[in-house]
Structure 1
Amino acid sequence: MTTDFPAAAATDDHIFATWLAGAAGDRLLEVRSQGLEGRELKDAGDAAAQALIAELLAEHRPDDAVLSEEAADDKSRLQSKRVWIIDPLDGTREFSEPPRDDWAVHVALWEDGDLTVGAVAQPALGETFNTGTPSVVPPRTSTRPRIAVSRTRPPAFVQALAEEIDAELVPMGSAGVKVMSVVRDVADAYIHAGGQYEWDNAAPVAVARAAGLFCSRVDGSELAYNQDNVSLPDLIVCRPELAEQIVDFVKRNGTD
């Protein structure tokens, strides 16, 4: 387990977030190895990761507020200067289908109006992408742009975008994995519309920004976190050189 607390994490939020996401990822790998299947495995994963993250936040960051997919929304966070935004298991479907590796753990910190820290663990890959040691996005290796899309619900407007800019679609699981695919040069863009919440993309966006990627709503406007309404239904994460084309397409054609 990654639960041995690194001394530097006491004062460094980047190290703490990375450790926390990794510890939850280790716990999820343990759950996955217990022989459970289907809904039972999904529920066990959600519960185990949430319990561990809640326990460790209470122990090591007791004065901070928390917004988690798997816990009731305590609106007192709206008066807090520090809010951890958590998705204990992003990509529950993929987690429940071993040996798929396209699922993740999201840990982000919002401070005084913006995201400052993020960590996205992909436990099945043994990787935790984070803002403390930002990834350097390598030069693009593809001749055609690659757009990460849902493997189960690819939006029709993204297909139209791909045709306009001669891009190929790359299906994969969780939202965090799709954003990290751009960080890793597995894809060049991830465009989503049709429903997400703050915990679905806060940590991935923090990591992507730190890596120098463009991040916005689909109309090009800023992403806002720790809002009263936690719905954040659309998102663009892409290489900077593709941003203008993508935003212009959405403004002209919409997402319906």
Structure 2
Amino acid sequence: MTRTTTHHDDPPEMICDTSAAIDIATAAGELLLRYREALNSADVDPVEFRKGADRSSQEFIARELSNRFRGDAVLSEEAPDSTERLGASRVWIIDPLDGTREFGEAGRSDWAVHVALIENGSLTAGAVALPGLGITHSSKDPIPQFGVVPSSPRVVVSRTRRPEPVMALAHALDAELIEMGSAGAKAMAVVRGDADIYAHAGGQYEWDSAAPVAVAQAAGLHVSRIDGSALHYNQENPWLPDLLICRAEIAATTLEVLNR
């Protein structure tokens, strides 16, 4: 799997954190690929298959973070939460397997592994591994060179859930809809320039978006709640109802339509 590089003029501690996020997300993705190859053809209950994959990735990431950053707190979808993280200066927010449904479907690549770091309330490092594509995006990728936004913007949407605000946005912009699975895969489609807008209004948790947002904002994209307010992480309640990641030049129009 491709590992991204860091900029050498950044502070050494930031390079270390980002490199760790990249390495851990990438290695967890490779572990999941091996797990998928070994069990996907076996006679295994699909629900137990996905749970086992989540658990294996969680255990690997937790072990790596503990070994590398012993004093840091962790917020994860697959581990019990602790209020101790609220007073910690450094908190890793992880999703060991984003898009379990897609992971369980042979041949699908729209699933991800998220690893992000919050320092004193700010996102400072993030990596999103897309193991099915052999790519890991990070907050230290070179800033992409985007082309002109098409007259019909490309909006990534869920295969199964279509919140009314998102569909109203797509209708107002005469958008092209691109169906995709996990939040990380959707966000990285915008980062790569394969889509222009990812708007989510169906409810998420911090681990669904922390790493994708870290990568997206480093790429120069607009990131916010769908009302335009800032995204806050390491909150007592990790529920984060909505999200907007889009090309900066169409952010004002997108927000205006979403808030009519």
TM range (shorter): over 0.9
The answer as to 2:234 corresponding to 1:241 is no
Q: Are positions 1:148 and 2:156 aligned together?
A: yes
For the Cα contact (< 8 Å) 2:146–2:193, is it kept in 1?
Answer: yes
Point out where structure 2 has 5 or more consecutive residues left out of the alignment: 3-11
Letter in 1 for 2:99: G
Q: What amino acid does structure 1 have at the position aligned with 2:200?
A: H
Displacement, 1:126?
0.5
CA distance in 1, matches of 2:92, 2:180: 26
1:166 equivalent to 2:174? Answer yes
CA displacement at 1:134 relative to structure 2: 3.8
Relative distance call for 1:120 and 1:113 in structure 2 (3 A) is same
The 3-state SS of whatever aligns with 1:85 is strand
Deviation of 1:142 (Å)? 3.5
Q: Once superposed, which parts of structure 1, at least 4 consecutive aligned residues long, lie more than 4 Å away? A: 8-11
1:33 matched to 2:41 = no
Quick check: 1:226 aligned with 2:234? yes
CA contact (8 A) 1:140 1:185 kept: no
Residue 158 of structure 1: how far off its partner (Å):
1.6
Distance 2:166 2:145 in 1: 23
- Report deviation, 1:137: 4.4
Bigger shift: residues 49-58 or 138-147: 138-147
Q: Over residues 89-109 of structure 1, what are the superposed CA-to-partner deviations in whole Å (9 max), with x where a residue is unaligned?
A: 000000000110000000000
**Matched residue type, 1:20:** I
- For residue 133 of structure 1, report the CA deviation from its aligned partner: 2.4
1:63 and 2:67 correspond:
no
Q: How many residues align?
A: 247
CA RMSD of aligned residues (A): 1.8
Write the distance in 1 (CA, Å) between the matches of 2:81 and 2:170.
37
Letter in structure 1 aligned against 2:213: V
The superposition leaves residues 20-53 of structure 1 with CA deviations (integer Å, 9 ceiling, x where unpaired) of 1001001100110113452122111101100000
Shift of 1:247: 1.0
8 Å CA contact 2:25, 2:113 repeated in 1: yes
SS of alignment partner, residue 231 of structure 2: coil
- Aligned residue for 1:205? 213
* Alignment TM-score, normalising by the size of structure 1: 0.92
Deviates more, 1:58-67 or 1:11-20: 11-20
1:13 corresponds in structure 2 to 17
Q: CA deviation at 1:135?
A: 4.3
Asked if structure 1 preserves the Cα contact closer than 8 Å seen for 2:14 and 2:124, the reply is no
CA contact (8 A) 1:107 1:118 kept: yes
Percentage identity across aligned positions?
54
Q: What's the secondary structure of 1:45's corresponding residue?
A: helix
Question: Whole-Å Cα distance in 1 between the matches of residues 139 and 255 of structure 2?
Answer: 26
Amino acid at match of 2:49: L
Q: Residues 219 and 72 from structure 1, CA distance in 2 versus in 1: closer, same or farther, beyond 3 angstroms?
A: same
